[in-house]
Amino acid sequence: MILKINNLVKRYKDVLAVDNASISIAEGEIYGLLGPNGAGKTTLISTILGLTKYDEGSIEIFGKDLKKNEYEIKKEIGIVPQDLAIYLDLTAYENVEYFGRLYGLRGNLLKERIEEALNFTGLWDRRKDVPKKFSGGMKRRLNIACAVMHHPKLIIMDEPTVGIDPQSRNLILDSVVKLNKMGSTIIYTSHYMEEVEAICSNITIIDHGRVIAKGTKEELKSMISFEERLAIDISSVNFNLVDGLKKVIGVKECSLNGNKLLIISEKNANNLSRIIDVILKMDVEIKGLNIEKPTLEGVFLTLTGRSLRD
Amino acid sequence: MNILYIFYYTILRFIRDRKGFMSMLLLPVVVILVLGTALSSTFKHSDISITPVAYLNLDNGTASNAFNEFIKLEDIEEIISVKTVASYDEGIEMIRNREVAAMIYINENYTQNLKNGGTGDIEIIKSQHSSFGASVVSSVIDSYVNAANAIEASGKLGNFIPQFSRSDSVKKMPINSTGRTPTSMDYYSVTMLVMTIMYGAHYGIDELGKDYFESIGQRLKSAPIKSYEMYVGKTIGIVITLFLQALILVLFTKYVFNVNWGNNLTEVLFICLILSMLSIGLGVMICMVSSSRRKATSLISILVPVFTFVAGGYFPIDNVGGIIEKIKYISPNYLAQRAIFNLVYEAGAQETQFFLLIMVGISLILFITSAVAGRRKLQ
């Protein structure tokens, strides 16, 4: 395990910010950390970075106790904070150079890593410009370059795509996957569920400081998925159709809204072909069919009672 | 090594911010020019006129007669003009009406008290409206009392001096004030330089505040560097930046406004360096204790003009008396201004050293307080 958090507790006076949290992250993962605002994600990240002291429990990173080996561990971690953590009055090159020096890089190795990081984020051609002249997406990419130039084993990305255009977002998501393929383990937090769904292999959901669910995407979805939803666009309305469909084995509910049928079946009922047979036998043409699967957003809503963006 | 890198990039960023750097210099230059020109007449030398003083002597004894003789001496009449009053209330009324700078009052038991071996009091009731005149009267009375005490002490030792004799043992050497007192341009160059350095506290607030409480601080604190390396590197970078601005301001006023910075320019610059440390320390301390750049900025924006005012930075307020006379010593501006004026006009070397020591002490306290407050924030 590259990160192992055991029964972590952090209190701010009377507020329990992290409540007995335990998380294990294996090497090579892109690990999603989800939770609404104030759930305890930031506190958890701060404790992993050694910026916040914790009251109980333990944190092991790279197999070493964080408290005893903080300095050594920090050398192998990269952080991409939610807000931009770059100097707007230093050039892109100088920004990366500055943080590279703080991570102990010197001489030719430093120059190579600066070039590599700026090429990786597509900013090499703009290396002599100050970020004041950059678009929001370019600043975000520089934010990433500063975090990854020392080849960290563990990269923590705290909402790295907030407030940027779709093109820059795709570039950043691609770079996250590339970094992972290059050997870095990544902890990724985001308000955009589709991002987490697209790139993360394992996910932990936190609320009120507690880990309320964790597992793979499929495991999380199966926790709330007890039924399957089918939406069918039909050519004409036949009132016998609804009654006919309700008689199909496994169908729990059937309703009609204009020319759209909504059918809810028991999970794994395997009755799709039977439903189609019933519709066609009534001389109704099927114009479209959509099987609605459970999403992480649905999982989140079910478990926390809140939308992720609340 | 990290300290050097942090120091280098801090200075680089400040120097690159030409707009901010120049505006810090432009403002004092304009203020020096405006105040130095507009208030030049205030700094012209004028003759000291004879100070009017009310006098009430209710004692008819020999001791007070000696004082009567003293105030009629030609030399004393060149300094004070005595107006005898009939009652205590009349003298007080003259003070209220600003007709006199003070009243000298001798009670009816003055001679008797002295004969009985007690003390004879000559009271001075000073006007609040003429602190200079009142101090002149005090000096005259002090010189009489000192002489009288000397005769009294001599008599007790058996060497009674039968009568007061006057001799010309004092050699008069008129002082030429040219080049020894500041012109308005000289004065405001010093006070505005000091004010500019004090406003440099904003640098401390912005830099350390940003690196401590904002996202860039998260990145820096996550890096494998010691917190003291960050603190020291940043602080030295800001202090040197501020000192460079002070240096440019001194050289600009010296060669463009022909301001008199005396023969000890290196020492003047050393005071600027110490004041830069104090100013940055103050900004950092307020920022760390308040945990808010906004609050710290607001507080400094109030404190610096107040410090400047009580130190006489906007206009000279020496000998005004009252609360300002007492609180001016807590103003860093006052300490630095006095130290610089002493150096430029070659006066009070000991006082200069004392003020410098106080400034160094204050700076150390401010930096230690900031460090302690900063550590407590990490919980």
Predicted pLDDT at B159: 57
What is the rounded average pLDDT for all residues in chain A?
A: 87
pTM (predicted TM-score): 0.70
Strand order in the sheet with A15-25: A15-25, A3-12, A56-61, A64-65
Lookup: tokens for A297? 């957003």
CB contact under 8 A, B224 and A104: yes
Q: Is A83 on the interface with B (CB under 8 A)?
A: yes
Nearest chain B alpha carbon to A49: B222
Q: Taking 50 as the threshold, does the pLDDT of residue A71 lie above it?
A: yes
Q: Is B13 on the interface with A (CB under 8 A)?
A: yes
* Residues of B with Cβ-Cβ distance to A101 under 8 angstroms: 2, 5
Least Cα distance to B272 among B257, B255, B258, B251 occurs for B251
- Residue ranges of domains in chain B, CATH in brackets: 2-43+182-377 (no CATH), 51-156 (3.40.1710.10)
Examine the predicted complex and report whether its ipTM is higher than 0.85: no
Q: How confident is the model at residue A125 (pLDDT cuts 50, 70, 90)?
A: very high
% of chain B with per-residue pLDDT over 90: 30
Q: How far apart are the first and last CA of chain B?
A: 28
Using DSSP, state whether B183 is helix, strand or coil: coil
Compute the distance between CA of residue A180 and CA of residue A29 in angstroms, rounded to an integer: 7
Predicted pLDDT at A76: 92
Predicted pLDDT at B191: 93
pLDDT tens across A130-189, in order? 999 898 889 989 999 999 999 999 999 988 888 788 888 888 898 899 999 999 999 998
Note whether B205 and B234 are within 8 A (CB): no
pLDDT tens across B336-376, in order? 999 999 888 877 778 889 999 999 999 999 999 988 887 76
CB contact under 8 A, B216 and A86: yes
What is the rounded average pLDDT for all residues in chain B?
A: 84
Q: Taking 80 as the threshold, does the pLDDT of residue B181 lie above it?
A: no
How many Å lie between the alpha carbon of B36 and the closest alpha carbon of chain A?
Answer: 36
Domain A226-292 has what CATH class?
A: alpha beta
Least Cα distance to B261 among B342, B325, B372 occurs for B342
Question: What b/e string do you get for A136-158 counting C-beta neighbours within 10 Å, with b at 16 or more?
Answer: ebbbbbbbbbbbbbbbbbbbbbb
Q: Which of these ranges, A102-116, A157-171, B165-179, B278-292, has the smallest mean pLDDT?
A: B165-179
Check if A3-222 and A226-292 are the same fold. no
Q: How confident is the model at residue B177 (pLDDT cuts 50, 70, 90)?
A: very low
CB contact under 8 A, A87 and B9: yes
Q: Which of these ranges, B178-192, B242-256, B268-282, has the smallest mean pLDDT?
A: B178-192
Predicted pLDDT at A118: 94
Radius of gyration over every alpha carbon of chain B, rounded to an integer in angstroms: 28
Note whether B326 and B342 are within 8 A (CB): no
Predicted pLDDT at B176: 47
Predicted pLDDT at B36: 84
* Residues of A with Cβ-Cβ distance to B214 under 8 angstroms: 83
How many Å lie between the alpha carbon of B367 and the closest alpha carbon of chain A?
Answer: 22
Identify which has the larger pLDDT, A42 or B325: A42
Question: What b/e string do you get for B254-265 counting C-beta neighbours within 10 Å, with b at 16 or more?
Answer: eeebebbbbebe
| Candidates B13, B219, B378; nearest CB to A81 | B219
Predicted pLDDT at A108: 93
Note whether B35 and B81 are within 8 A (CB): no
**Which of B203, B222, B230 should be substituted to probe chain A, the one whose Cβ sees the most A Cβ atoms within 10 Å?**
B222
Q: Taking 70 as the threshold, does the pLDDT of residue B169 lie above it?
A: no
Predicted pLDDT at B245: 92
Compute the distance between CA of residue A123 and CA of residue A141 in angstroms, rounded to an integer: 8
* Residues of A with Cβ-Cβ distance to B230 under 8 angstroms: none
Q: Taking 90 as the threshold, does the pLDDT of residue B302 lie above it?
A: yes
Give the A window 86-145 contacts with B, CB below 8 Å.
86-87, 89-90, 94, 98-99, 101-104
Q: Taking 80 as the threshold, does the pLDDT of residue B85 lie above it?
A: yes
| Candidates B219, B225, B379; nearest CB to A79 | B219
Domain ranges of chain A: 3-222, 226-292
Cβ-proximal residues to B107 (8 Å cutoff; 6+ apart), any chain: B58, B59, B121, B123
Radius of gyration over every alpha carbon of chain A, rounded to an integer in angstroms: 24
Q: How confident is the model at residue B197 (pLDDT cuts 50, 70, 90)?
A: very high
Predicted pLDDT at A165: 82
Q: Taking 50 as the threshold, does the pLDDT of residue B327 lie above it?
A: yes
Predicted pLDDT at A306: 62
Distances in whole angstroms, Cα of residue A110 to Cα of each of A103, A124, A139, A151, B100 = 10, 15, 21, 12, 79
The CATH architecture annotation of domain A3-222 reads 3-Layer(aba) Sandwich (3.40)
